[in-house]
Every structure is written in structure tokens, then in C-alpha cells.
Chain A
Amino acid sequence: MNLQTKKHLLDIDCYSKEEIFQILNDSKIMMEILNRKVKKIPTLRGKTIVTLFYEPSTRTRISFEQAAKILNADVINISIKESSSNKGESLLNTVLTIQSIKADIIIIRHPHSGAPYFLAKNSEVPIINAGDGSHAHPTQSLLDLYTIQNNLGKIENINIVMVGDILYSRVARSNILAFSKLGANITLCGPNTLIPHEFLSNNHLYKNIKFEPSLKKAVKNADVIMPLRIQLERQSTGHLPNLQEYSKQWCITSDIVSISKQDVKILHPGPMNEGIEISSDVAHGPKSLISEQVTNGVAVRMALLYSMLNTEPNMNLEE
């Protein structure tokens, strides 16, 4: 891994297993701070963090903002509608402008896959990818890893089932990288039209990922079920007859959950379309970790921002 990609977080494969575990470990410490009455520490005082979102977002953006503010960084949110992008300014020039105001980290979400990679090549400021097209969403993966580790005690050898739009989901893509790196068994499930063809034909290099066409079979031994939203904004037509049809066959309902292990956990990266990929009673039921995921997201992003303060952890400083 060269220094260029180390400095930025573009996808989860920027990080080694050890670095991922370091962040999960730091997240636990950040969680203690998040739960304090006065949840503010001076660590990133004087740092400026800019969020540049070319796509709508609720949780990712406020999660980053909350994380940065607890660490005492200053946050500037750029809403694209009100920015000079509307006057035709290019993405690169926008980022160079942000660099010139002395920002310390840029967090970007963009509808085009690969946009953060292009910026990383041209920016001196570290870039965090907060979702690019249907490509990657590494901080979502980090918080999913943390949530599962926190609830199941481990990640290695757990059975995780991702259901739905695997083809267009950046969460699925980053999670496949993250969970297979840490040794989980991944089952992909959903309509054939929404599964990447290498997984359909089982022609891939990941030995712990399999495709299972039957939802009932897929969830049978699941420790974690993760339904994914149908990314209608990214799809061309023809993948699905209609959403009602999809929901009939693939919705995670309490009947489906009851086939699975007694203590199965339900995760969802959000936003949810209740009644389509997940039923309301499951989404808000006792097995759901969905709101915990959001809380964990803040702690994980605090750990991430802290780790980007400087490259190498210094083990000797405390002595």
C-alpha cells in the first residue's frame, strides 16, 4: 500500500486487518466519550472538516458532523444546491477551493463511482469516501463490523446474509470486502438480476462468499441478516417487475426471521423502505440493531477522524 492511498479512506481495502481492528478498538473508547454527560473532548481542536455531499444523506452526514464536533473540530457542510457547482464549477475546482481555505479533511459523497479516487490523486487534503455511486461506502462497513463485533463478540466465522440489491449497493460491495477480510461467511441472496454475475456463476476469488437463490435456505443458519434497499436511483429499468413483486418474495418479515437462528440480528444500512425490503415489525423489533448501528456510526467515525490526525499510532508515547 503506498502512502497516497494510506492517507485517504477510499474503500475498506485501504486498510489492513490490523488497522481495521485498531479502529474498532478505538471506537469502543470513543463510545465511552459519546455516552458521557459532557460529550466533548479537545482532540481535534483547530481542525476543519468539510463535508461535500453531492447526493442526499441524513445519517452519514450528521454522523460525521456529530463525530467531528465531539472531537472539537470545526465542521463546514457544503450543500451542493447552494454551491458554485450550480454555476458550473467542476468537482476538482470545488475541492481545490476547499483545500485553499485550509480544510484538514474532506468527506465526500458523490453519485459517480470513483469520484473520491480522482480527487485523492489531486488533493493534498485527506479524502474520506462517504459513498460513491454503487462503488464503496467504507465507513458504513466499519460501523457494521463494530456493531457485529460488539453484539456477537467476533466477526470471524459468523454467517452473514445480505439480501436484495447487491448489484447497485455500495454498502454490499464494501461489506463484502470488509467481512471476507475478517473471515466471516457471506451469503448473497436476492433476485438474479440484482446479483453480480461472478457470484451468480460462482466464478470469483472469495472462498467464503456464496450465492443462495432461496431466501428461506439463505437465512436458515444466519447470525446476521442484512436487507438492502433497492437503489432505484441507480438502476436502469428491467431489473424488477415492480416493488410489490420484489417485496412478496424478498422482504425480511417476522416469518422469515423465525426460520433463522433464535438470536439472529438484523442490520440495515438505512435509509429503510419499510414494507419493501424489511417489514416494520422486524425493523423495530427486538432483534433489530438498526438504531444501534447509527449510534455506533458516530463512535466509529470519531475513531476514524482521530486516526487520520496522524498516520502512525505511537505505542511509546504514554511511557
Chain B
Amino acid sequence: MSTYNSNPSLNSIYTKTLLDSNSINKSLVRISHEIIERNKELESIILIGIQRRGVTLSNRLKDLIFTFSKVDIKTGALDIGFYRDDLSFINRPFIRETTILNNIDNKTVILVDDVLFTGRTIRAAMNALIDFGRPKFIQLAVLIDRGHRELPIRPDYIGKNIPTSSTESIQVKLTEIDEEETVLLQKDSYELTN
């Protein structure tokens, strides 16, 4: 990367693989067992994935739960772009589909996302959910919890806890979207290149 750039550019100093496809799968298997244990009425669960990788993960959890319990759980997809709390400061987010076809009143909604960071996405997701009805419970399942919460939000199901510094970033790559399966930790720093 030797192209001249007057602005500081984001250069990654190192990249570490945190999870490979095997350990991603193990985490999801464990989460699905935990979901089955914690919820007596599996039929009243709706898994709602947060666009985009949360949707992929929720579909995988649905399949795993079906394998272990033979209960076919309903799923949905939620885009939180319209509910962001920083819309006035940022460029407009790219919006994907929201498909919540089932009535969520009195149901147990499990929100699914890939990485839990500040908690603001989950705040927005809960706001959006309330527009669709009044779930009896909202639970939260995440593949990675990287800390640095800015809101009082905690996950119910965690694939892996990964303490990070705020200059690091986490990248989840899933086969269905990224054509590879891995979780990477990148250490970034601002550095002038020229």
C-alpha cells in the first residue's frame, strides 16, 4: 500500500483468526442446545436475525434446533437502519428487507446477530420489534461478544467472549455471504502513507 494519500488511512497492523468454521459451528450448536434448555415452549419461539449476517446465523440456528428437538421454529429478518440513533450524523445506511410474517405478540423473540459491541444495534432492533407487537420475552443470541457496551444490554446466548480494544475490529465471514467461514480480529491504527 504505497499509494500517496494525504489523509490518514486505515492500515491493519495484524490480523488474527479467532474462530474457524469448525469452532463457529461448535458455538452455534452450543447456543441451540442452550436455547432448547432455557425455553420450555420451543413452539412459541421466533428467531429474528438482524440484517445481514444475523439472518444467516438465525437460519442456521433454526436448522440446528430442528435437528436436536424436531421442532420447526419460525424465523424472521430485521433491518435496523431506519431505527439507528445516529441517522442525523451519518450518510444514509443501505437498507435491506424486513420480513416478520408471524405475529410476535406473547411470543419469545430471540434476536440473533453476529457481533455485540456497543449495544446500539440491539437497542434499535428492540425499538423496531415493538412496532410489530408485544413479545412476552426478548432474548439475545450473538456469535461474538466483544465488550465496550454503551447501553445496559447483555446477551442471553454467547458463542464466544472476546475482550478487544476499541482500535481493534472484528470481522465475521460466513459462507452464505462471504464465501468463506471465519472470524477475524484486526488491529487497526491510523498511519500516514506516502
Contact = CB atoms under 8 A, between A and B. Distances in A.
B149 to A, nearest CB: 19
A42 B83 contact: yes
Nearest to A28: B97
Nearest to B131: A38
A29 B79 contact: yes
- SS class of chain B's interface: helix, strand, loop or mixed? loop
Interface string B91-113: 11111111100000000000000
Contacts of B98: 29, 32-33
Contact of A310 (B81, B91, B96, B133): B91
Interface residues of B, number: 24
A42 B94 contact: no
Interface in A19-55: 26, 28-29, 32-33, 36-38, 40-43, 46
Interface string B63-95: 000000000000000010111000110111111
Interface in A141-163: none
Contact of B95 (A26, A71, A312, A319): A26
Contacts of B15: none
Given A32-B98, A42-B127, A317 B90 contact: yes
Contacts of A28: 97
Interface string B42-59: 000000000110000000
A313 B94 CA distance: 6
A318 interface: yes
B90 A314 contact: yes
A306 B91 CA distance: 11
Nearest to B95: A29
A42 B82 contact: yes
B132 interface: yes
A313 B96 CA distance: 12
Contacts of A314: 90-94
Contacts of A306: 82, 92
Contacts of B131: 36, 38, 40-41
A38 to B, nearest CB: 5
A309 interface: yes
Interface of B: 51-52, 79, 81-83, 87-88, 90-99, 127-128, 131-133, 171
17 contacts: A26-B95, A36-B131, A41-B83, A41-B131, A42-B127, A43-B87, A46-B88, A71-B82, A306-B82, A307-B92, A309-B87, A313-B94, A314-B94, A315-B94, A317-B91, A318-B51, A319-B171
3 pairs of A and B residues whose beta carbons are closest in the complex: A314-B91, A43-B82, A317-B93
